Amino acid sequence: MNKIYNPTPDTWSTLLERPTKTVDDIEFTVKEIFKEVQKKGDLAVAKYTSLFDGVSLDNYEVSQEEINEAIGLIANELKEAIQLAKSNIEKFHAAQKTDRVIIETTEGVNCWQEKRPIQKIGLYIPGGTAPLFSTVLMLAVPANIAGCNEIVLCSPPDKNGNINPAILYAANLCGVTKILKVGGIQAIAGMTFGTESIPKVYKIFGPGNQFVTVAKQLATQFGVAIDMPAGPSELLVVADDTAVPAFVASDLLSQAEHGTDSQVLLVSTSKNLIDAVEKEIQIQLDLLPRKAIAEKAIANSKLIYVENDSIALELINEYGPEHFIICTAADDFYIDGIENAGSVFIGNYTPESAGDYASGTNHTLPTNGFAKNYSGVNLDSFTKSMTFQKISKKGIQNIGKAIEIMAEAEGLQAHKNAVTLRLKTIEDEK
C-alpha cells in the first residue's frame, strides 16, 4: 500500500488523481446502436438483446405472473430486510419535500416557486451475478414520492430470459410501473427514443458499465436528462487515534471490493493509526471472496499522513470524495468544514455500507470529483422547479417603470411596449 507522509500542496493534484479511461472506441459502437434503435425500434432491440444477452424474447415486458413468481422465490428474511431499508429510504426522502415558496416581492407582485414531478422516469439496473436490487429502492422510492407518473425499469435478461427475482421483488414493491427485460446500450437508446415496447422517458437514472455510461451521456444529446455523470466508486476516510483500526480497514475493503478501479483513501493525523489499519487490511483481505478485486484496488489505495486537521480538511475538499467517513476527535470540525462530498458517515458505528443499503440516505452519489458541482440523487432529482407569477394592476404600476427603463437600456423595445400598453390602459381607466 502507498503511504505518503506530509505531501506538500503542490503535489496534491497528482496525489489525488483518479484513473481516467478513454471512451473513444466505445463511443462509435454506442452511436451506431442508437441510430439503429431510433430507426428500427424493437427490431434493433431484439438484435442486440440476442447479440449481447444471448437470448431471443417475444415479449420484453415482465408480466404480473413473473413478478408473482419472483415474490415467491425470495426468502422471508431478505424480504424483511428490503422492507426495512425501503421504510428508512422513504422516511428520509419524504422529509425532503418542500412547500410552495410564496412571496410578494413588491405590493401586487406575487411570485411563487413549486416543484412538480418529472412525468416519465427511466431506471437502469445492471444484470450480472450481483443483482443491484438496492439501487431499485434508491431510485424507485423517491420517484414514487415525487409523484412521477411513469417509472420504467430496464434490466438485462439472463440466458433464460429472466431478470433476477430480487430486482423484480423490489421493483414491484416500490411502484415501478413497467419492467422491461432490456439491457445495455439498447435499453438506454430505447428509453431515449421510445420503441414499440419501450416508452420514451424524460430522465434516466442508474448505474452501469462503460457502455451504459457512454450511452447515458449520448442520451443527453437527444434531450433526455440523466442523474449525473458516472465514474468509479470511491471512499475517503479521515481517522485518528479515536478510530477503531479494524473498522476503518473493513470500510476501506468494502469500497475496494466494488472493482479494481475503486478509489480508496485514508487521511490521518496519526501514523500509528495508518500502520494499524494497514495491518488490519492484510488480515481481513484474506477472508474475502472478492479478494482478487479488492487486492488490486487496495494496491492503488493511498494512506496519507498530514500534520493536522486543517491540512486534512483542505486536502479532502480538494478531492471531493463520493463517500466520506469521519472518525476523529474533531468530527464537528470536519462536518462543518466539508465543502465537497457526496455522503458523509460519522463515527465508529457508521459504516459506508449502512448508507449503501438501509440507513435511508441515497447511495447514488457523485463520484470522480463531481461532488464539487453535483448533488447525489435526492427527492428533487425527480422533480423540476417551476415559477409562477401573478401581478395586479397595482403591481404592474409599482414595477412597470423599472421594467421599461431596463428593457430600453437592453434595446428591447417590444419588451418595454408590453408594459407601456398595460400602464396606459390603467391610466385611461381612471
The closest alpha carbon to 140, from 88, 199, 86, belongs to 86
Q: Establish if 412 lies at the interface with its own copies (CB under 8 A).
A: yes
CB 249 within 8 A of CB 325: no
> CB of 64: closest distance to its own copies in angstroms?
23
Active-site residue, 322 included:
yes
Q: Establish if 41 lies at the interface with its own copies (CB under 8 A).
A: no
Q: Establish if 105 lies at the interface with its own copies (CB under 8 A).
A: yes
**What is d(CA 7, CA 274) in angstroms, rounded to the nearest whole number?**
15
What is the largest distance, in Å, between two alpha-carbon atoms of the chain? 88
* Buried/exposed 55-65: b ≥16 CB within 10 Å, e otherwise: eebeebebeee
Q: Establish if 96 lies at the interface with its own copies (CB under 8 A).
A: yes
Tell me which of 66, 234, 323, 404 is the catalytic residue: 323
Query: How crowded is the C-beta side of 140, counted as CA atoms within 13 Å?
Result: 30
Among 14, 24, 308, 414, binds its own copies (CB under 8 A): 414
* Buried/exposed 206-245: b ≥16 CB within 10 Å, e otherwise: bbbeebbbbbbbbbeeeebbbbbbbbbbbbbbbbbeebbb
Site string for its own copies, 163-182 (x = CB under 8 A): ---x----------------
Judged by CB under 8 A, the stretch of 152-160, 176-184, 190-198, 340-348 that binds its own copies is 340-348
Backbone φ and ψ for 210, nearest 5 degrees, come out as -60, -35
C-alpha cell recorded at residue 350 = 457508521
**Residue numbers 352-381 binding its own copies by CB under 8 A:** 352-362, 366, 368-376, 378, 380
Q: How far is CA 128 from CA 93, 135, 161, 184, in A?
A: 29, 14, 13, 12
Active-site residue, 363 included:
no
Size of the site for its own copies (CB under 8 A): 129
CB 168 within 8 A of CB 142: no
Q: Establish if 310 lies at the interface with its own copies (CB under 8 A).
A: no
Site string for its own copies, 53-82 (x = CB under 8 A): ------------------------xx-xxx
> CB of 350: closest distance to its own copies in angstroms?
4
> CB of 182: closest distance to its own copies in angstroms?
21
Judged by CB under 8 A, the stretch of 151-159, 171-179, 187-195, 239-247 that binds its own copies is 239-247
Catalytic site positions: 322-323
Task: Could you list the residues known to form a binding site for NAD(+), using ranges.
Answer: 124, 186, 209
